Amino acid sequence: MQKFEYRTPRFSIDIPVQFTVEGSALDGRCTEIGQEGMTLELKQPLTPNSSGMVSLTYRDHTLEIRARVAHATGTNAGLEFLYNSEEERGNVANLVASVASSQSRPGPVLLN
């Protein structure tokens, strides 16, 4: 039987991001984010297993964190966050919670 691993929830988003890898700063868009990583769209392809620094700002949350390219297909890449501290993990959790709360939908509306 095949082992199935769950991943933490990811949320759709569209914000500018900068990924600095091997001394080059690449501009792109974050299209999905969760507590363990994000999906990027870039103009140039990334090399799997390369790592660098991700920088982004969403509302009042600024995030700078190391990340590894977990997979890449063309100009899309999945990044895995490389936490150095519990503080970094908390910063990402706060940003993801902010994204999630902005996407919450109101409940049903009762009409008379």
pLDDT digits (tens, 9 = 90+) for 30-83: 999 999 999 999 998 999 999 999 999 998 888 999 999 999 999 999 999 999
Residue with token string 């490389």: 82
CATH superfamily, domain at 11-98: predicted glycosyltransferase like domains (2.40.10.220)
- pTM, to two decimals: 0.82
Could you tell me which residues are beta bridge partners of residue 72? 77
pLDDT at 61: 82
Backbone angles phi, psi at 32, to 5 degrees: -160, 140
Quote the strand ranges of 22-60, DSSP E.
24-34, 37-42, 51-58
* Confidence band, pLDDT 50/70/90 cuts, at residue 110: low
